Amino acid sequence: MGHDINEYELIPETIRPSTAAREAKEIHFERSIIVSEDDILLHRKLNKNQLIAYNLITERIFSNKVGAFFIDGPRGTRKTFLYRALLATVRSMGYIALATATSGVAASILPGGRTAHSRFKIPIDIDENTSCNISKESSLAGLIRDAKLIVWDEVFMAKRRMLEVFDLLLKDLMNTNALFGGKVVVLGGDFRQTLPVVRYGKKRRFHWRKFVIF
């Protein structure tokens, strides 16, 4: 158990799972995420501002209304705590909630987290002609359509085009022109971590700037 058939060198070519098989595994993983009792009770530990956001977002989710939200806060203000509470609430009721982040490190902190590149099949090398590599008839497309909530953390690290193709993907899958296909989407990050931009600047002109938040 736990071994790869390719380890035994039974055939000259490496056996690779089909796209359908990989998607089936991903969907099984998403639908079988176990929510701990501690995570289910996280919403009771939210502070005043977090609770306002939590109540507004969950109200949109369970009333099937459109909702696009942005959670902005300095490092250490427990944005991830709010994400975990939202994900646990949705998943504990048997619904699908997709947890993503721009970086692998941020994604690993979220329960069931994946990078946005991986979850939505966004190519690493992206340009104005890029689109997400997901067929409308695929099982992955069905999973995204079923999702009640999509969380995308560290969105400031993403290129503008990534958000554009993500928006186009959801509109295409949901057959609507509503923002993000009418899904409840929670984007998060910290504006204070955005590096300064120098118009037409060269590499040597860029430098780190420290922002102190009181």
pLDDT in tens, 108-141: 999 999 999 999 999 888 888 888 888 888 888 9
Confidence of residue 157 (pLDDT cuts 50, 70, 90): confident
Closest by CA to 22, choosing from 133, 166, 176, 184, is: 133
Whole-angstrom Cα distance, residue 76 to residue 136?
Answer: 39
Burial 33-64 (b: 16+ CB within 10 A, else e): eebeeebeebbeebeeebeebbeebbebbeee
- The domain that holds 38 is classified in CATH as 3.40.50.300
Task: Output 188 or 28, whichever has higher pLDDT.
Answer: 188
SS3 labels along 34-99: CCCHHHHCHHHHCCHHHHHHHHHHHHHHHCCCCEEEEEECCCCCCHHHHHHHHHHHHHHCCCEEEE
Whole-angstrom Cα distance, residue 5 to residue 43?
Answer: 44
pLDDT, position 208: 35
- The answer to whether residue 169 sits within a structural domain is yes
Highest mean pLDDT pick, 33-42, 67-76, 88-97: 88-97
Which domain covers residue 30, as residue numbers? 16-193+204-212
- The answer to whether residue 33 sits within a structural domain is yes
Q: What is the pLDDT of residues 180-214, one digit of tens each?
A: 999 999 998 877 766 666 666 555 443 333 322 22
Consecutive H or E run containing 144:
helix 139-146
- The answer to whether residue 156 sits within a structural domain is yes
Mean per-residue pLDDT of the chain: 82
- The answer to whether residue 176 sits within a structural domain is yes
Domain count, the chain: 1
- The answer to whether residue 5 sits within a structural domain is no
Structure tokens at 35: 């929510």
